[in-house]
Structures are given as C-alpha cells and as structure tokens.
Amino acid sequence: MADYAVLEAVLGYTFRDRDLLERALRHPSWCNEQAAPRPEDNQRLEFLGDAVLSLTVGHRLMARFPAAHEGDLSVTRSQVVSETGLSEVGGALGIGAWILLGKGEDRSGGRTKPKILADAMEALAAAVYLDGGFQAAWDLVERLLAARIAGAEIKNFYDFKTRLQETAQARLKATPTYRVVSEAGPDHDKRFVVAVTIGEEEWARAVGKSKKEAEQMAAADANFRLEGSNAGVRPKK
C-alpha cells in the first residue's frame, strides 16, 4: 500500500484504517486490470459519500440561511456539491494524483476529468465517515468546502426550468424535455422521480414531492452540468 501520509495531510485527517482510504481512490478502470480476486472499487463509497455530503452541507446551509425555503435550500446544496463544484475542490487539492486509474483512463487524462475527481471526493467523504464517524466527516466538510458554502447564494427554486431552457437552446440548440421515471409512496406523501433530457442525452434525474418540484430539481442539476460543460462536464451516465 502506498504511503498516504501526504494525502492525509491534504485532507486534514489521519485514517485508522488506510484500506478505506485506498478503496476511496480505486477507480473501476484500475480494479478491472487487477488479477482475481478483483479489489472493490470506490463506487459504493461514492453512493454513501453523496449522502454524507448532502447531510453535512445541508445542515450548514440551514444554519446559514435560517429563513430559506426547502426547495431553495435543496437547489443551493446542489450548487455546492455538484460535479463541477466537487471536481474544482478535488482539482485544487491535487486529488487526481492519488487516484488509482487504469492505464487507458490515465492516458486519456482521467486525473483531471471532473466526474472522476467528483466521484473520488464523494468516496473520500464516505471513507472519513466510516473511519471516524459523523464528527470527522463534518470537520472534513468544514475544511474542504467551507469556502464554497460561504460563497453560496440562495437560488430561486422556480427559476431553473426557464434558465435551463435558455442555456440549452443557446449552447445545444435543443429544448429540454421532462419525463416521470417513477413514483412511489401513498397518495398523501408521494415521491416523483423525473429525468430531464436534452437532445438524445439524459442530463439529470431528481426526486420531488410533486412532479413540478422534481422537474425543478432536475433542471437545476442539469443546468449546473450544462454550465460546466466547457470544463468537460457531460450528461449524467
């Protein structure tokens, strides 16, 4: 195992279990090139890290904007922990140098790809949470995302469908379309999953308490991706 002391210094956290740290850095392309038994990649940690970041950043934003409505807070949180936002933080920290990549992915510039950097940041947040608990994860967010949280502005929840339509037409010459992927729950407490497509590509999915809310959340996420597309952010795969 590599000596991760330098990376721990960058993160401001020393792992009890460095196996967790290494797992957070294993891109699937690297794992696919290893002999059996294939090591576990970082995708499960990404899943958990997304929840860890949503909780910790959401808590900070609620404290910072005590009068903000739920929908506005959700959109603002998406702004902070978007692929663009996390990749910028990861890039500034030099996380790309530590990610374990397959040879082909490495040659194609994987260490600077926004999705790979953002996924690694999510996985690292989960690794810290599993290794040190919620307080350790909270402290990590304080150190690494404080500037983005401090610079965040409450975004009007009901502006994003219009904003996405304008951006998509200007950049892609296409109009966004929305479809309900699924719905669940009793009539008094339903949840709707909506996907937004631009051209032939799906750019985002989101969950809401109504179709309108889910559409707005999906539009917000797609808009962050589209506005970051010049930096290599692409449709959601």
Same domain, yes or no: 194 and 108? no
Per the prediction, the chain carries an average pLDDT of 88
CATH number at residue 211: 3.30.160.20
Q: Residue 1: is its pLDDT beyond 80?
A: no
Q: Residue 146: is its pLDDT beyond 80?
A: yes
Q: How many domains is the chain built from?
A: 2
Whole domain around residue 191: which residue ranges? Answer: 157-231
236 within some domain: no
Cα gap 49→24, rounded to integer Å: 10
Mean pLDDT over residues 152-163, rounded? 74
Cα 15 to Cα 85, 100, 233, distances in angstroms: 25, 18, 31
Tell me what pLDDT residue 236 has.
Answer: 59
Same domain, yes or no: 169 and 111? no
Mean pLDDT over residues 154-170, rounded? 79
**Cβ neighbours of 70 (radius 10 Å):** 11
User: What confidence tens digit (pLDDT) does each residue in 203-236 have?
Assistant: 988 888 888 888 988 888 888 888 766 544 455 5
Same domain, yes or no: 140 and 101? yes
DSSP secondary structure letter of residue 155: P
Range with lowest mean pLDDT among 76-85, 146-155, 157-166, 177-186:
157-166
Mean pLDDT over residues 111-123, rounded? 93
Cα gap 105→32, rounded to integer Å: 11
Q: Residue 26: is its pLDDT beyond 80?
A: yes
Sequence length of the chain is: 237
Same domain, yes or no: 139 and 222? no
Mean pLDDT over residues 33-60, rounded? 93
Q: Residue 158: is its pLDDT beyond 70?
A: no
Cα gap 181→105, rounded to integer Å: 32
User: What confidence tens digit (pLDDT) does each residue in 178-192 have?
Assistant: 999 999 888 878 889
Residues recognised as catalytic: 50, 122
Does residue 124 contact residue 49 with C-beta atoms inside 8 Å?
Answer: yes
Tell me what pLDDT residue 233 has.
Answer: 47
Same domain, yes or no: 125 and 21? yes
Same domain, yes or no: 112 and 62? yes
Tell me what pLDDT residue 150 has.
Answer: 87
Cα gap 9→98, rounded to integer Å: 13
Same domain, yes or no: 40 and 81? yes
Decide which of 80 and 45 is more confident: 45
Strands 176-184 and 191-198: antiparallel
Omega cis (within 30) before 176: no
